[in-house]
Amino acid sequence: MDLSNKVALVTGGASGIGAATARLLAGAGARVAVVDLDEPGAKAVAEQVGGTGIGGDVSAVDAMATIVGQVEERYGRLDVVHLNAGIVAGQSGIEDLDVEGYRKIVGVNVDHVVFGVNAAVPALRRAGGGSIVATASLAGLVPIPGNTLYTMTKHAVVGYVRAAAGPLAAEGIRVNAVCPGFADTPLIAAAKDRFAGFPLLSAEDVADAVGAILDRGEPGECWYVQPGREPGPYGFRGVPGPGNHQAPPSGAGEDV
């Protein structure tokens, strides 16, 4: 993967998967903007990779547009976007719902992806095309019991990426999702003792999968990442069409 003369933006880049991806992209030659709510952390990683650190709440309505504008102003273009920021819910969401916490996880895990794509696409068009990778999860492919709200948000990311892929591919913009299993990152730090003896991915494992997607992924693919396995695109099954055998509307029932 050669990203010489390319510019990349990574959200949630102060630690974990985002920091590992920032290092990987910089190692491939890209100039990298590292974005995080933890601005000092973002600047520290950016300093390591010779990039730019930007603080911001990516779930805020206008934040991603402002961030993309700052990146274009500094570097003149944008080619690669990794929408990686994410949080866990800390509640099941089935009963005794903490509405503030619910709004927060939807804001970071879902709104941020939508706002990020919305802000990035015009910049990628100006650069003549590019790639977007959103961090989903295995929880976007299968349900994770006890993590109902997290599962919901990651399913939303997977669905959004798959639906957006076709129209964007026609413009030379590729959008994908990376769907890692449990990774040894700050996201599980508070519950890490529960994973004793369980194989965990490293942040670098997931970053390598992001690199593989950028290198050879096809539009709309959602790549699983599991310990001890080569990452690859998940094989979605198409749904049955109407019983009267009429052709479905364009895109319905297709295996993307």
Beta strands in 117-234 (DSSP E): 130-135, 173-180, 222-225, 232-233
CA dist., res. 5 & res. 81, Å (int): 15
In whole angstroms, give the CA distance from residue 149 to residue 237. Answer: 24
Identified catalytic residue from 75, 150, 160, 224 = 150
Q: Which helix (H) or strand (E) element contains residue 54? A: strand 52-55
Tokens of 220: 């709309």
CA distance 56 to 248: 43
For residue 249, the tally of other CB atoms under 10 A from its CB is: 7
- Active site (annotated) includes residue 150: yes
- Measured from the Cβ of residue 118, the count of other Cβ atoms closer than 10 Å reads 12
Which residues does the annotation mark as catalytic? 150
